[in-house]
Homo-oligomer: A and B are copies of this chain.
Amino acid sequence: MTFEIQQNELVSVSGWGRLKALPGRLGTKIVEAARKIKKLGQDDPRRIIHSLKVGLAITLVSFIYYVESLYEGFGGSAMWAILTVIVVLEFSVGATLGRGLNRGLATFIAGALGFGAHYLASRSGDKVEPILLGLFVFLMAGVVTFIRFFPQMKARYDYGLLIFMLTFCLVSISGYRDEDLLDVAHRRVSTILIGSFTSVFVCICICPVWAGDDLHNLVASNIENLGSFLQGFGTEYFKISGEVGESKTAVMQRYKTVLNSKQSEESLANSARWEPGHGPFRFSHPWKQYLKIGSLTRQCAYRIDALNGYVNSEIQTPPEFRSKIQATCTKMSMESGKALMELASALKTMTPPSSARPHIAESESAAKGLKSLLQAGLCEEIDFLEVLPAATVASLLVDVVSSTEKIAESINELTTLARYASVEHIIVEEKEAAVSVHLQPIPPCSNTSGEHHVITIDQPSRHLP
């Protein structure tokens, strides 16, 4: 008995203590939540604008309910407009267009197929009809669910397949009960179209967020993050006095976000493909090339993660060895950091990365300098074990230099691909001005499939009658 009382006392004491502390804890929690909300808005003010846009779009489509004449036309189907806005209106234009098109197309095709299934079933007699309908629905749901497992389908058409399945089932089964199926379908399709158009309109016309811009900036800022690590690495590793502050270390650690950036890059690239031309980007902008650059950037980031392990290593390199390699290693790291910074800014401005060339050349010559330094017989004076970490750092830096060059190449490719597209665009415009042209096959570009034709303008033909 005593034990039970003891336990109860313990519980009640701790309960009372908690109860007394409740207002204080609640206060801190509210303050913390408010701080988080403020930070979320400050980090990206477009989030606040997007929230207001969603509110506005829903308010707009809800006019179907408020205006008598509109409601008479649509009736209960008005709800599909609200539902459509809520599921279609996404943060970026590309995602919204992708969802809208997926929804529109899927609704149309599945509606037609569902109507066909209903027609077939209804001709087969009262007893067979539900069996036949059940079979159709079972088969279609199973097949579409399986198709959703294909990675390529999942990336681009997952939402469309879901809506396809939904619409097919609703139309074919509803047909069993609704006599005026066509009328219902007509009203529903109209409200879905109203919802989709409102979403796309609000998304594009009020402070649009382009997934393409986001992808472009993400890839560039990832390269920048690697660059700022490398620019700080030399002073940090060799403990060059006074230069390393807290804030600098924080900047250097930003490279860690690059390690896991694959997923967000892929989803942005998927959205960007739906987007029309905007700003410096055309409809056919080579978004896939960004994924290639991103993957090379991550490869470089893995090496940098290995380097980062040596920054605060406790093993002391002998001073005589350190002083010999310090200059070349710092230069390699600094120059490849500068090169990455230049590459990021070239990517941002969509210019060929020629300004990065000198820095890459410098870092390569530093790597060569290091090699000849090592060949010149540093060895005799020192203990191999003690220099091993420093030697590894040097070797990883050589890897980083070659990684930087690969990134430079892929950015060069991107600018060529993008310029090719825009040059083609200009020429097509000229062609439309009634100039006769030749078609010449050229070898296919990397990352685009099928045959390509470059349109060359036949100058003399301008003078033909």
Contact = CB atoms under 8 A, between A and B. Distances in A.
Nearest to A375: B385
A306 B392 CA distance: 11
A71 interface: yes
Given A82-B166, A82-B173, A384-B379, A137 B62 contact: yes
Contacts of A259: 298, 302
Contact of A59 (B51, B54, B137, B176): B137
A421 to B, nearest CB: 22
B51 A142 contact: yes
Interface string A147-163: 00110000000000010
A352 interface: no
A316 interface: no
Nearest to A378: B384
A87 B139 CA distance: 18
Given A7-B438, A437-B7, A142 B396 contact: no
B165 A86 contact: yes
B396 A392 contact: yes
A340 interface: no
Contact of A392 (B47, B87, B298, B395): B395
B52 A142 contact: yes
Interface string A423-465: 0000000000000111100000000000000000010010010
A142 B55 contact: yes
A273 to B, nearest CB: 20
A50 interface: yes
A138 B306 contact: no
A296 interface: no
B55 A138 contact: yes
Interface in A394-414: 394-396, 399
A299 B51 CA distance: 37
A73 interface: no
Nearest to A163: B86
A310 to B, nearest CB: 9
Contact of A306 (B59, B130, B260, B306): B306
A177 to B, nearest CB: 6
A392 B150 CA distance: 41
A65 interface: yes
A113 interface: no
Interface string A369-393: 0010011011110111100110110
Contact of A170 (B4, B82, B166): B82
Given A7-B436, A50-B145, A51-B141, 16 more contacts: A37-B146, A51-B145, A52-B142, A55-B137, A58-B137, A79-B174, A82-B166, A259-B298, A259-B302, A260-B260, A263-B263, A302-B305, A374-B385, A375-B385, A380-B380, A384-B391
23 contacts: A7-B439, A10-B439, A37-B146, A50-B145, A51-B141, A51-B143, A52-B142, A55-B137, A55-B138, A56-B138, A65-B177, A66-B176, A82-B173, A259-B302, A302-B305, A302-B306, A309-B399, A375-B385, A379-B379, A379-B382, A379-B383, A379-B384, A388-B391
Interface of A: 1, 3-4, 6-7, 10-11, 36-37, 40-41, 47-48, 50-52, 54-56, 58-59, 62, 65-66, 71, 76, 79, 82-83, 86-87, 130, 133-134, 137-139, 141-143, 145-146, 149-150, 162, 165-166, 169-170, 173-174, 176-177, 259-260, 262-263, 298-299, 302-303, 305-306, 309, 371, 374-375, 377-380, 382-385, 388-389, 391-392, 394-396, 399, 436-439, 458, 461, 464
